Structure 1
Amino acid sequence: MQNNKSLEPLNAASQFVEKYFSYCQAALLAGSVVRGEATTTSDLDIVIFDKEVKNSYRESFVEFEWPIEVFVHNLTSYKKYLTMDYERAIPSLQKMLVEGMVIKDDGIVEPIKKHAQKILENGPQQWSLQTMDTKRYFITDVLDDFIGCTKIHEELFIVNRLAELVSEFILRANGKWVGTSKWVFRLLKAHDEQLAFQFFEAFNLYYETKDKTQIIVFVDNVLEPYGGRLFEGFSMGKAIR
């Protein structure tokens, strides 16, 4: 959605909150407009805290010349989402709370921001050796499918899955948060810029020429410090007699 937006983001967000959530306890403007990364299709992400709301919810609007997404929580429900984001290692709400510009605050924002900041700084739960082996096994399985595939229609989906698994492995094996969509490359780059561009070059070469060689070498290099590809001897869920 592309709009000609004459209202500044904070101004638009403030008017929106006053119109729809005037009785809320707090409101924060987050997302790309706050980070200085907005594009012509960016929306406004607004986190609302309203003690009268029974359940958290998300809703989309087009108001004040902007597409707007609101993430509405009561004063306890947001903690459930912080926990869920921590468990999946994708700290979406934590980032919105930490980066968010205050639109309204009845005195509750500071401790909420500190809680979210602490989670971000501590990082996600470390993978166990068993988890690492399981992830190596699944990467090996998909890599073998990719190497052996001769049908381009199937190969496209295999290589996309391989990219997801390998990017997750790089980040989680190094104790980093993960993300989706555009955040994958951003997080890889923040972790290791050279490695991120090696990743890009390997997969981009395949998309342009269908040459698999660089991807295979890259994946093997990623796995090598952790024991390389894993197939023979792998077991999951086997009962011990």
Structure 2
Amino acid sequence: MDSDPAHMLTAAVDGARRLVLERRPQAVAAVLGGSTAGGRATATSDLDIAVLLADGDVSHRETLRHEGRLAEVFAHTRAGLAEIFAADRASRRGTMQFVYAESVLLHDPHGHAAALRAEACAQLAEGPEPLTAEERDDARYRLTDLLDDLADLGDRHEQLAVAEQVLSTAAGLLAGHRRAWRGGGKWLPRRLTAADPVLGRTLLEARLTVAEHADPAPLRAAAYEVLALVGGPLREGYHRTWHGGEKRG
């Protein structure tokens, strides 16, 4: 595969456009988003394609292979996309908003995709809703408990598992405090450093120190910096009423 980023992007856009024309000829509009549109594609990157369907069609998600390349197709009506935008704002991840905001137009004869991209950009600029007091304190308590565990774990497998949870919980808490978007997987470090370039990078480097040197001290120190921003560690006094059926963890 061509390693030149510009050529890779052009090839990806051309392939994605052919996919839309061949597999989704009923599309009202379509965009290419994700890592590929952002110039971060690798030889194994899939194509993240959002397709706007006519009202009355059925919103769906599908993984398929086209011209030898995997593609994730997110097909939705206007009403379906509004629901997805709302859910992704509530999760504070803004997943579909980022797909549209950082996209390349594939098919947009009536300007619908451009309008949706502008809407997504506006929502991302506004940021997610602030953490509620209960959400903040739940995360404080969870992070405090994880840090207590991390302090004296001798088993390397347990230490690494808890370190990952410390990073994830601290990242979510820091992003929430900054009213910034959070991410998972490869998007966790990207969103974390966008939320707080200094403390975010410190957390990431400290997690590496656990992995490479079995030393949890820098990660504990960085996570306690996050806790200091939101009221400090929380142990005694934490109380929640159990409601059957609610999500835990």
TM-score exceeds 0.5: yes
The question of 1:122 aligning with 2:142 is answered no
Q: CA deviation at 1:196?
A: 2.5
- 1:8 Cα deviation (Å)? 0.7
Q: What is the SS of the residue equivalent to 2:78?
A: coil
Residues 92, 128 of structure 2: 8 Å contact kept: yes
What's the CA shift string for 1:139-185, capped at 9, x where partnerless?
A: 11111122233333322222211111011111111110101112111
Match of 2:36 in 1: 33
Query: Does 2:219 align with 1:228?
Result: no
Aligned equivalents of 1:191, 1:49: Cα separation in 2: 30
Contact 2:32 2:49 in 1 (8 A): yes
Give the deviation of 1:230 after TM superposition.
Answer: 0.8
- Write the letter of the residue equivalent to 1:61: L
1:174 aligned residue: 178
Q: Tell me by how many angstroms 1:78 deviates.
A: 1.0
**CA RMSD, 1 decimal:** 2.3
**2: CA distance, partners of 1:221 / 1:53:** 50
SS of alignment partner, residue 107 of structure 2: strand
Deviation at 1:216, TM superposition (A): 1.6
Once the 2 structures are TM-superposed, how far is the Cα of residue 36 of structure 1 from its aligned partner? 1.3
CA distance in 1, matches of 2:123, 2:95: 12
Give the share of equivalent positions with the same residue, in percent.
Answer: 26
User: How far off its partner does 1:46 sit?
Assistant: 0.9
Q: Is the 8 A contact 1:24 1:49 kept in 2?
A: yes
**Structure 1: which 5+ runs fail to align?**
none
2-structure distance, mates of 1:160, 1:187: 16
Q: Is this contact kept in 2: 1:3–1:65, CA < 8 A?
A: no
Q: Would you say 1:47 and 2:50 are equivalent positions?
A: yes
1:101 — aligned with what? Answer: 104
Helix, strand or coil for the counterpart of 2:160? helix
Asked if the contact 2:26–2:53 (Cα under 8 Å) also holds between the matched residues in 1, the reply is: yes
User: Residue 74 of structure 1 corresponds to which residue in structure 2?
Assistant: 77
Deviation at 1:137, TM superposition (A): 0.8
In 1, the alpha carbon distance for the partners of 2:213 and 2:82 equals: 47
Residue in structure 1 matched with residue 87 of structure 2 by the alignment:
84
Question: Residues 76-105 of structure 1, C-alpha deviation per residue, up to 9 Å, x if partnerless?
Answer: 111111111000001111111122222112
- 1:52 Cα deviation from its structure 2 partner: 6.3
Note the C-alpha offset of 1:227. Answer: 2.4
Q: 1:195 aligns with which of 196, 199, 208?
A: 199
Which residue does 1:156 correspond to in 2?
A: 160
Q: Please tell me the residue identity of whatever aligns with 1:25.
A: V
* Residue ranges of structure 2 left out of the alignment (5+ in a row): 243-249
SS of corresponding position for 2:36: helix
The one-letter code of the counterpart of 1:122 is: E
